[in-house]
Amino acid sequence: MTSHHITRALAGVCLTATIVLSAASARAAASDYRFEVANVKAAGSKSDVTVRLLHVTDKKPVTDAVIFEVSADMGPDGMPTMKAPAKLMPASQPGLYVIEVEPGMGGTWALQLAAKVQGETETVRATLPVKLGK
C-alpha cells in the first residue's frame, strides 16, 4: 500500500465518522422540541403564563422537562432592556409549566425559557411573545 492509498483510506474513515455523528444529532436535538403558550391568566399585577412543551415530530407533550431558567423582557415592543420578575410555579398538570410574570407595563413581552429534557443533551431554549398587563 502506498502512502497515497493510506491517505485515501483515512479520508474515507473520517467521512464515515462525520456522517454517523450527523445522524446522531439529527435523532435528538433541541430543535425536536417546541414550547407553546397554552394560557395567560392575569391576576392583579401578575400574570400566570402556562406553556406546554411538545416533541415536534409526534406532537406528544413532554412531561419530564426541567425548566431551569426563566426571564421576561419587552424586546417585542422595542424595549429589550426592560425586564420583569419571572419565576416558575408548581405545575397544575403533567406537560404544562406555569411561569408567573410581574410586568411593569402592559404590552408584548418575550418570555425566555431554558429547559433540560430527559435523554437530550442539548438545552431546549425558547422565546415566546406574550401579551401581558393592561
Residue closer to Cu ion, measured from CB, 66 or 105: 105
| CA pair distance 45, 100, nearest whole angstrom | 10
Interaction between residue 40 and Cu ion (CB under 5 A): no
Q: Give the number of residues written for the chain.
A: 134
Question: Contact with Cu ion (CB under 5 A): which of 79, 88, 96, 110?
Answer: 79
Residue 126: beta bridge partners? 113
Q: What is the CA radius of gyration of the chain?
A: 21
Residue closer to Cu ion, measured from CB, 61 or 133: 133
Specify whether the CB–CB gap between 126 and 35 falls below 8 A: yes
Question: Contact with Cu ion (CB under 5 A): which of 72, 74, 101, 130?
Answer: 74
| CA pair distance 118, 124, nearest whole angstrom | 11
Interaction between residue 82 and Cu ion (CB under 5 A): yes
Segment lying near Cu ion (by CB under 5 A), choices 13-21, 62-70, 105-113, 114-122? 105-113
Interaction between residue 85 and Cu ion (CB under 5 A): no
- The nearest distance, CB 132 to Cu ion, in angstroms, is 10
Specify whether the CB–CB gap between 98 and 49 falls below 8 A: yes
Segment lying near Cu ion (by CB under 5 A), choices 13-21, 36-44, 60-68, 72-80? 72-80
Q: Give which of 37, 63, 75 is closest to 118, Cα–Cα.
A: 63
Residues at the site binding Cu ion, with contacts judged by CB under 5 A: 74, 79, 82, 105
